[in-house]
Chains A and B, each alone.
Chain A
C-alpha cells in the first residue's frame, strides 16, 4: 500500500498512467482507486470548495469576459430578430428550417451526457461517475437553456409563445397535440426541469458545506437559502438518498425519450432523408456522443485550471472516451444504414436524397461530418489516445463540430431539394444566423463560468463515498496490511 499523503501535488496526476503507481490499490476493493493521491475527507472538501472560495485564475476572467461579450451578441441578435422577424435569417422557400433548428438539436444533444452520467450510471452503480456528474449535469442544464432559446426565437412572434402551452383561451385554440413540435415542448421542458431538480437535490449537502465554510455573512445567507437547512443528520441523509434514487429513476427514461422526440420533428414528416425509423436510436446515440465530447472538452480545461487532476482522473477520460467511441460508431453505423436502406428500399426519392447528401452541393458538409464523427473517434481504440489529454481535447472538439454538421446536413440537405425542382435552392446563413449561434455559446460559457465560480464542481459528499475509508468493509488495519485484493475478503 502506498503511503497515505494528504498533501497532493495535482500535477503529478496529469499525464499519469496507472502503471506509474503500480503499488497503489484501494485497500478494500483491491482495484486502482478512483480518487488518486489517497486524500482524506477533509482534503477532498478543501480541494473542491477551494476554487469557489479563492479568486478566479486569469484564464477564468478571459473566458468569462469573452463569454459575456458573446452573450451580449446573443441579446443583440435576438433583439434584431424580434424587431425585424425571421427574415433576417437565411431561411428561404424550401429551407424553412435553418440554423436555429440545427442549433436547437445541437444543444439538446449536448445536454444528454449529464443525465446519462448522473442517472443511468448511478443506477448501474458506476462509481466513477461521482467525480464528473455534478459538472456534467450543470453542462446539461446550460445546454438545455441554449437549446430552448432557439425554438423560442424561431417562432417569430415570441410575444405569442404562450400558445405552445395548453392554456385556456378565448380563441378556443389549443396546441396541435398531433404535432411532434408540441411533443418537443413537453419533452425538452420536462427534461430541463427534471435535470435542474436532480442537480439541485444532489447539490444540497454540498451547498450546506459551502454555507458552513463561508467567511462572509452574505455568502452564508446565500448558500444557506439554497441549502434548505441541511444539517447532515441521519434522517436527512436517508431522505436524501431515497429522493436521489427516485429522481434517477425518473430521469433515466428521459435520457432516451427526449432525443427520440426531437428526432420525431424530422422522422414524422414525409420528407426523403427524414422519414426513417432509424432516427430515434440514431439521434439518442448522437446526443450521448456529442454530450460526452462536450464534457471532455470542458473538463480538460476545468481540471487543469482548478487543480482537480487527482479527482477527474485519466481513468474518467478513459471511460468517457470508450463511450464516445461506442456512440460514435453507432452513429457511423446509422449513416451507413441510411444509405443501405435508401438503396434497398428501391425508393428513388430516398436514393436521390442520400446521393445528393454525399455528392450534391452540400457534400462539403457531409464529408466534414463523416470525418469528425466517424473517423476522428477511431483513435480511441488505443489506450494511449484515451489517456492523452491533448488528443482528447482535439478529438472532442472535432466531435462537437461534427455533430453540429450532422444536424446541418440532416436539416438542410433534405429541405433544399424539394419535390418540385423549381423550388430547389441553395441555403446559406446570414450574419445574424452566425451571430445568434455564437451568442448561444456566450450564454453557455457565461453560465459555466458562474457555475465554477460559485458552486462546488464536484459532488463532495458523493466523492467521499468512493474513498476506501467510506467503504463499510474498510478497517483501519487494512492500511497497514499489504495491498492485495484478498484484503477485501478479510472483513
Chain B
C-alpha cells in the first residue's frame, strides 16, 4: 500500500475529524487499523494447532516470508512439521481489492510438482483452519462493509473502540458467510485484539482473540491468536515467534524456483 498517501490521508482525517465530532466514525477507525504500520516485509515462524470439539489436536509448524508491494503483497510459507508434509510450500500473491483473485501455488514434494490452487470464495475456509480467506487478510475489504462505531469499552485494562461491520449486501453476506462482525480496536495502537463473527442466520459463529501484543522492531505484533467456532466447537490456535521485520527480502524469494527448493534454514 502506498503508505505515505495513506498516512497523509489519515492525518487529514485525524485532524479534520474533531471539527465535526469528538469521536472518529467506525470507518475512520478501520481505516486507521488498515493504515497501521506492519512492516514492509516480515519473516516469522508460525505454529498452528487445530483442535476439534473432542479436543484432538493436529499441529503444524511453518515459516513464512511476506513482502509488501504497494497495496499488494507476496508471501511464501514452508511447512516444517509434521514430517509427512515437510517441505510442502505455499506461494501466495495477494492482490488488493476484489477485482483480481489472489494467486496461489502449492509445491507437493511427494509429487515433486507445483500445483496451482483454484481461487476460492472469500468465505471459504483456509487450510483446514477456522479462518476464512477473508479472515487471514490483515484487514477486511473496508468498502464491502457498513462500519459503525457502537461504543468504547475497557478490555484487559485497555481502552477499545468497538466497531461493527455489516456486509453491505445480501450477496456479500452469502459470499463472506457473515451477517455481522464486531471489532475491538485498541485506541492507543490502532490494532484489533478481538473480533466476533455472526453467521448468515444471525447466530454467533466465531471469536478471534489475540494473545500477548508486543512491539518487535518497533512494530506492534500479536504473538498469538485463537479463532474459535462456537457452533462446531472447533478452534485454531496460532502462535508466532522469531519475527524479523524489514530485513529487505528480495523479490526472488517469492518465485516458483524457491517454492520447489524448499526452506534451507538461515
Partners in one complex: no
